[in-house]
Amino acid sequence: MELFGSSGTRGVVGEEFTPERVRRVAAAAAAVWDADRVAVARDTRLSGAPFADVAAGTLAAAGADVDRLGVLPTPGVAYYCAREGVPALVLTASHNPPEYNGIKLLGTDGTELSVDAYERVERAVVGAETPLARWDGVGSTRRIDGVGDDYRADLLTGVDREAVAAADLTVAVDPGHGAGCTISPAFFRELGCTVHTVNAEPDGHFPGRDPEPVAENLTALRRLVRSTDADVGIAHDGDADRAVFVDERGDAIDGDTSLAALAAAELGGGDVVVAAVNVSQRLVDAVGAADATLDLTPIGSTYIVTRVRERRRAGDRVPIAGEGNGGVFFPGYRLTRDGAYVGAKFLELLAAADPPASEVVAPYADYHFVRENIAYDDDDERARLLDAAAAYANGADAALDTTDGYRLDYGDAWLLVRPSGTEPKVRIYAEARTADRARGLVTDLRDHLETAR
C-alpha cells in the first residue's frame, strides 16, 4: 500500500496532509463502507478540529449520519464502534511530531481495517469524487458526549480492579499532551491507584515532549517517578494506543521487555502470539518457555490485526499480540491497541508480585536494543537506500528473512532494515546481548547505507 502505510495514512500538515487528502480519504471510506452512520474523532493536534470538519462534511454529503466524538483516544473510538456497530474515521498521527496529522479507519467491530479493506479504500481514493446524496438524503451531524466516561467504565470490566486496588500502587502518568489526557489519569485513579501526572493537559503544540514515548522523551516522567516514589510510570503516544513504562527507579523499560513480561503472564501451551518481524529475542524466549507459537507479520498494526483474525478463525487461541513499541493487543478484551488497558494489565503484574517493576521485568532485560533512522528527501534517494540495504543483506553471513524489509539473524544478535510505513525514513533495528554488539551492527549498516546517498 502506498497511501496507507503500517498504521493509517499520515503526513506533514500543509504538505502531504491537506484538506483535499482528508476529503478524498473520507469519500473513499464512505464508498467502501456504504454505511448509514459513521463516527469521527481526533487527537489533540491543532489541525484536528478543522480536518474533522472536512471529514464529517464529506461523509454527511455522501449520505451518512455522523457522530462527532471530539477528542478521544483511538481505543476509545474502537469501544464506541463496537458498541454502536458503526465504522469510524480518526484524525491522528499517533506518535509523529506535532506538524503531522493522519487518518486511521476503524471497522464496525472496533478494529483497525484489515490489509484488504485498506487496499479497497486506497483503490477508491484514486478516483474518489465524493459520492453525493440527493438533497433529501444528506446525512446529519451530531455531537456525542460522555463516550470517554463510558469507555473508562468498559475498561474497568476487563481488569482485576480489586487486586490492583489492594496493592495500593502509586502511578506516575504522562499522556504527552495527547488524547490520553482525557482518560488515563482518571482511569488509574478509578483502579484505586494514587496518581501523579505530567504533560497531562491536552495541547496540540505538545510543549512538554514529543508525542513518541521513547526513553529520550520521558525525562519528566522519570523525574516524577523518583520524586513521588511511584511504583511505576506510564506514558502514551498522541492517540494513547500505546503504553511505555518506567520502573520504580526512574529507568525506562524497553517496550520489548514489557511485552515479554506481559506475554509470559498470559501464555499457555499451544497458544499463539502474533508479533511484527522486528520482534525481540525476549519475546521469543517467553513464547518458548510457555510452549507457545510465534507468528511473525510485517510491521504495523493492520498486519497484526489481519493475522490475529486469521489465526482465530483457524481455531487458535491468541491471548496477546503486538510490537515492541508499546502497542500491545489483548484480543480477548478487544482486538485493538489500548494504552490505558495495557497499563492496567501491567499494574496487575505488579499487584500479583511482591518485587518492584524492575524485578518483574528483569528476566526479560538481558538483551540490548538499538534503533536508528535515516531520513530521505525523495523517492530516488529512498530507492538508493533500499538497494544498498538489499545488497548488504544478501552479502551478509546470516539467516535472511524478507517478511518486511531485510532481517538478518546472526545467532547471537539480529539486525533489521526496512522503510518506515508512516514517515520518509529508513529504519534500522538491532538487538544483541551486549550494547556494543547491537550498536556496532547498526553503525556498520548505517555507514553502508550512507554511501548510497
Distances (CA, A) of 165 to 1, 348, 353: 45, 10, 14
Region 362-372: what's the mean pLDDT?
89
Domain 9-144 fold: Alpha-D-Glucose-1,6-Bisphosphate; Chain A, domain 3 (3.40.120)
Whole-angstrom Cα distance, residue 260 to residue 386?
31
Q: Is the sign of the CA dihedral 220, 222, 223, 227 positive or negative?
A: positive
CATH code at 150-250: 3.40.120.10
Q: Which of 6, 7, 94, 280 is catalytic?
A: 94
Q: What is the pLDDT of residues 186-224, one digit of tens each?
A: 999 999 999 999 999 999 999 999 999 999 999 999 999
Tell me the CB-side half-sphere exposure of residue 448, using CA atoms within 13 A. Answer: 19
Distance of CA 39 to the CA centre of its chain: 20
Instruction: Read off the C-alpha cell for 308.
Output: 490475529
Q: What is the pLDDT of residues 249-264, one digit of tens each?
A: 999 999 999 999 999 9
Q: What is the pLDDT of residues 386-440, one digit of tens each?
A: 999 999 999 999 999 999 999 999 988 999 999 997 789 999 999 998 999 999 9
Question: Percent of the chain having pLDDT more than 90?
Answer: 87
Residues of the chain with CATH 3.30.310.50: 368-450
Burial class (CB in 10 A: 0-12, 13-18, 19+), 291: exposed
Nearest by Cα to 31 from 173, 169, 126, 143 = 126
Region 76-93: what's the mean pLDDT?
98
Residue 138: phi and psi, rounded to 5, are: -65, 135
Q: Is the sign of the CA dihedral 299, 302, 308, 313 positive or negative?
A: negative
Nearest by Cα to 278 from 300, 258, 262, 261 = 300
Contacts of 434 (CB under 8 A, 6+ apart): 368
Contact 426, 386 (CB under 8 A): yes
Question: Is pLDDT of 126 > 90?
Answer: no
Residues of the chain with CATH 3.40.120.10: 9-144, 150-250, 255-338+354-364
CATH code at 255-338+354-364: 3.40.120.10
Judged by average pLDDT, the poorest of 162-171, 198-207, 296-305 is 296-305
Region 140-159: what's the mean pLDDT?
98
- Number of DSSP helices (H) and strands (E) in the chain, helices first: 15, 21
Q: Which CATH class is domain 368-450?
A: alpha beta
Burial class (CB in 10 A: 0-12, 13-18, 19+), 451: exposed
**Residue 94 annotated among the catalytic residues of the structure:** yes
Burial class (CB in 10 A: 0-12, 13-18, 19+), 131: middle
